[in-house]
């Protein structure tokens, strides 16, 4: 191919000669770098004059000629010479030649040059250095650039750049061995660097780190690995081969004899120590030490936790130092909502309050209080207490009480005994034994046919949580599923037979799943899917057993608990723009589904519908706490009929 061929007519071409850059630890920029030029255009000025025989005219002509020549001389000095071009030419096209193993598109991306970018010898040199480093990362240690050709358009404002590359051969691993330990053969088998494979410095570095990490997890925190020999064999014309010898010095085995906690002012030291994945007297294990920070952070007691530090006490024992700062244990979460007036009802205010005491007296005990006004005549109250580490095990036990006043229909009370076993900082198993009583009001027992009843229930479930930030996550997932079995007994009326069995079996299924995907800088896509279902031996599941749908925490754009059903599901999609660690602006789309059966005119009618809501929201970290506001619209709503939810989360 002709190096001087060009897409431009009447072009000017400059050739940056061979071997101007090589891939090495210190690239060569020496005297062999030659800059040549050829095929330049010229600029010609012509002047025509009419001579006159008169001496005066001749004298006048000579004077004007002198000034004209001076002008032309000064003007030409401002024009680009044959070896000069526009100081800021723009790239028109970048061409790569000579590549074999790596695609041209990939190499062009390495240069990070696009059409219209400024281009020059210095820019190509600087970008070329980074490209050669990429070649080395891919195992091409002998890669070099043979030449670079600049082809300019007539006014030198644009340039085609052609780069000729010699990638060279890859280096094959001939032999790798380990000395200094008894487990050499086992470790060699697990390495990524193996005989017959291409040599890669990055993989070798990862192999060395894996050997160190292996011994750190066996009690040797001061393990050393050195490359005792690295020899290159170039005797073969077809390929180069390398021999690698590693030497391992595990050092002295270490035992953790002391653990010092620094910075805990209220939380008892025993509360922190019981959460650690290691104990005093354990052999040093780097894997467990790496888990300390995340495990303590999930307690929610601390602002920050520094990576643990190791202090050597003697040759075979050490002290682990954990430095932290306590944060706020208690939380207040309040939400105020307003439902606009409709043709059949006036507007009204709804509200929700959650208060949590997360670390009572520094012992890790918890008390939670929840109150919610869902509609004008519906209120819900829940109280829960949790005792951590029962019997010295990662087992939390507690009890809960809940009361629901459902408008003028009925009152429901739940009394439960809760257990939660923490398998790890991410996975937990929970169960609850509860008794549920339903007492109809006088206005609800007749029109809705709600009888007095009670049930005994057993619930089991699991939770898996990998969220990176509980209040404003940007990645990870949170999954919870639970199954409940219950035996329900309905109180017999005075005219029912004593032999009639008024008992029935109930089954409930609960699924919650939420996940977060980072997209671009400060942008996150949030997806949540939830489902609830109850089944029973009863011909029709009564309204007292239904789940509720609608409002700030399920289906935004609709009134609190506007819909009900024996089977409900909803999904929340949010596109978030993060404004800070706890702040964000977002747009949302919610979709919900409900299904129920009702008795109408002595026949069973099935009702099922899909609903969609959409809107925008804001979460802002303020001095008062995390302020939130959502504005949602349901199907058929005008802007004036939107639902507004205002919330505040505060830690104290």
In a domain, 316, yes or no: yes
How many domains in the chain?
4
Q: Among 15-24, 193-202, 272-281, 600-609, name the one with the lowest average pLDDT.
A: 15-24
Look at residues 166, 198, 230 and tell me which one is the last residue of a structural domain: 166
178: part of which helix (H) or strand (E)? strand 171-179
What pLDDT band is residue 329 in, cutting at 50, 70 and 90? confident
> pLDDT exceeding 70 applies to what percent of the chain?
84
**pLDDT in the model for residue 335:** 81
- Is residue 155 located within the same domain as residue 175? no
- Is residue 610 located within the same domain as residue 565? yes
In a domain, 416, yes or no: yes
Residue 200: partners with Cβ closer than 8 Å, 6 or more residues away: 137, 138, 139, 193
Span 89-107, pLDDT tens digits: 899 999 998 867 788 888 8
What pLDDT band is residue 40 in, cutting at 50, 70 and 90? very low
Instruction: Write a three-state SS string for 60-121.
Output: HHHHHHHHHHHHHHHHHHHCCCCCCCCCCCEEEEEEEECCCCCCHHHHHHHHCCCCCCECCH
In a domain, 364, yes or no: no
- Is residue 232 located within the same domain as residue 98? no
Please provide the average confidence, as pLDDT, over all residues in the chain.
83
Domain of 159, in residue numbers:
12-41+81-166
Place of tokens 């644009």: 158
Q: What is d(CA 58, CA 60) in angstroms, rounded to the nearest whole number?
A: 5
In a domain, 553, yes or no: yes
Look at residues 192, 219, 249 and tell me which one is the last residue of a structural domain: 249
CATH of the domain at 35: 3.10.20.310
- Is residue 460 located within the same domain as residue 599? yes
- Residue 534 pLDDT exceeds 80: yes
- Is residue 289 located within the same domain as residue 422? no
For 208, 216, 394, 477, the CA distances from 293, given in Å and listed in that order, are 25, 18, 18, 19
- Is residue 179 located within the same domain as residue 286? no
DSSP string, 181-206: STTHHHHHHT-S--TTSBP-HHHHHH
Span 340-366, pLDDT tens digits: 777 777 777 888 899 999 899 999 999
In a domain, 237, yes or no: yes
131 φ/ψ sector (left φ>0, alpha ψ -120 to 50, else beta): alpha
Closest CA to 485 of 503, 505, 511, 502: 505
Number of neighbours of residue 585 by Cβ within 10 angstroms? 14
Strand partners, 419: 397, 431
- Is residue 142 located within the same domain as residue 239? no
Look at residues 220, 249, 278 and tell me which one is the last residue of a structural domain: 249
CATH of the domain at 514: 2.40.160.50
Q: Among 224-233, 337-346, 467-476, 570-579, name the one with the lowest average pLDDT.
A: 337-346
The arithmetic mean of pLDDT across residues 536-548, rounded, is: 91
What pLDDT band is residue 608 in, cutting at 50, 70 and 90? very high
- Is residue 118 located within the same domain as residue 180? no
In a domain, 348, yes or no: no
Select the more confidently predicted residue: 493 or 26: 493
**pLDDT in the model for residue 37:** 29
Q: What is d(CA 538, CA 566) in angstroms, rounded to the nearest whole number?
A: 12
- Is residue 552 located within the same domain as residue 575? yes
In a domain, 372, yes or no: no
- Is residue 514 located within the same domain as residue 561? yes
**pLDDT in the model for residue 52:** 32
- Is residue 149 located within the same domain as residue 243? no
DSSP string, 6-53: -SSTT-EEEEE-SS-EE-SSS----TT--EEEE--------------S
* Beta strands in 496-566, from DSSP E residues, in sequence order: 503-518, 523-536, 547-549, 563-565
Residue 213 tokens read as 């990490």
- Is residue 446 located within the same domain as residue 561? yes
In a domain, 297, yes or no: yes
């Amino acid at each position: 191919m002709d190096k001087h061929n060009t897409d431009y007519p009447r072009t000017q071409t400059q050739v940056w000669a061979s071997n101007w850059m090589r891939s090495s630890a210190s690239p060569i920029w020496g005297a062999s770098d030659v800059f040549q030029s050829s095929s330049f255009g010229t600029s010609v000025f012509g002047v025509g004059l009419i001579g006159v025989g008169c001496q005066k005219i001749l004298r006048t002509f000579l004077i004007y000629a002198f000034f004209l020549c001076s002008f032309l001389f000064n003007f030409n000095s401002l024009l680009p010479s044959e070896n000069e071009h526009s100081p800021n030419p723009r790239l028109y096209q970048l061409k790569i030649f000579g590549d074999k193993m790596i695609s041209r598109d990939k190499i062009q991306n390495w240069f990070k040059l696009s059409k219209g970018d400024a281009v020059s010898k210095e820019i190509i040199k600087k970008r070329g250095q980074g490209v050669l480093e990429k070649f080395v990362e891919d195992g091409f240690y002998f890669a070099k650039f043979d030449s670079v050709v600049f082809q300019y358009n007539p006014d030198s404002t644009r340039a085609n750049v052609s780069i000729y590359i010699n990638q060279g051969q890859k280096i094959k691993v001939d032999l790798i061995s380990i000395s200094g330990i008894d487990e050499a053969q086992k470790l060699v088998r697990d390495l990524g660097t193996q005989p017959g494979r291409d040599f890669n410095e990055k993989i070798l570095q990862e192999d060395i780190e894996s050997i160190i990490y292996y011994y750190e997890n066996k009690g040797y925190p001061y393990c050393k690995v050195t490359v005792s020999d690295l020899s290159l064999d170039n005797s073969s014309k077809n390929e180069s081969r390398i021999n690698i010898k590693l030497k391992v010095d595990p050092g002295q085995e270490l035992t953790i004899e002391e653990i010092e906690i620094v910075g805990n002012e209220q939380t008892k030291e025993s509360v922190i120590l019981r959460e650690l994945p290691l104990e005093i007297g354990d052999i040093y294990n780097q894997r467990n030490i790496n888990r300390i920070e995340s495990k303590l952070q999930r307690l929610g007691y601390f602002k920050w936790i520094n990576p643990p530090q190791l202090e050597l006490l003697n040759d075979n024992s050490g002290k682990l130092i954990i430095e932290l700062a306590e944060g706020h244990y208690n939380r207040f979460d309040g939400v105020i909502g307003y439902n606009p007036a409709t043709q059949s009802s006036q507007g009204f205010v709804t509200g929700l309050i959650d208060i949590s005491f997360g670390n009572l007296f520094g012992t890790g005990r918890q008390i939670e209080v929840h109150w919610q006004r869902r509609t004008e005549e519906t209120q819900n109250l829940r109280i829960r207490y949790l005792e951590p580490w029962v019997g010295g095990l990662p087992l939390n036990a507690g009890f809960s009480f809940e009361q629901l006043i459902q408008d003028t229909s009925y009152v429901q009370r739940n009394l439960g005994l809760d257990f939660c076993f923490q398998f790890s900082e991410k996975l937990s198993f929970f169960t609850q034994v509860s008794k549920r009583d339903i007492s109809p009001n006088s206005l609800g027992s007749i029109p809705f046919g709600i009888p007095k009843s009670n049930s005994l229930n057993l619930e089991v479930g699991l939770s898996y949580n990998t969220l990176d930030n509980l209040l404003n996550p940007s990645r990870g997932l949170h999954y919870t599923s639970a199954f409940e079995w219950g035996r329900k007994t309905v109180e017999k009326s005075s005219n029912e037979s004593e032999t009639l069995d008024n008992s029935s079996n109930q089954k409930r299924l609960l699924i919650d799943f939420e996940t977060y995907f980072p997209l671009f800088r400060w942008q996150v896509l949030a997806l949540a899917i939830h489902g609830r279902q109850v089944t029973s031996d009863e011909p029709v599941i009564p309204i007292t057993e239904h789940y509720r749908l609608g409002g700030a925490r399920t289906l935004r754009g609709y009134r609190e608990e506007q819909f009900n059903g024996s089977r409900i599901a909803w999904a929340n999609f949010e596109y978030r723009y993060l404004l800070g660690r706890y702040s964000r602006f977002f747009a949302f789309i919610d979709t919900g589904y409900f299904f129920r059966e009702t008795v109408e005119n002595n026949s069973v009618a099935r009702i099922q519908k899909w609903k969609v809501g959409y809107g925008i929201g804001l979460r802002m970290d303020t001095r008062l706490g995390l302020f939130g506001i959502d504005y949602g619209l349901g199907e058929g709503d005008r802007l004036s009929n939107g639902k507004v939810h205002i919330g505040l989360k505060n830690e104290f």
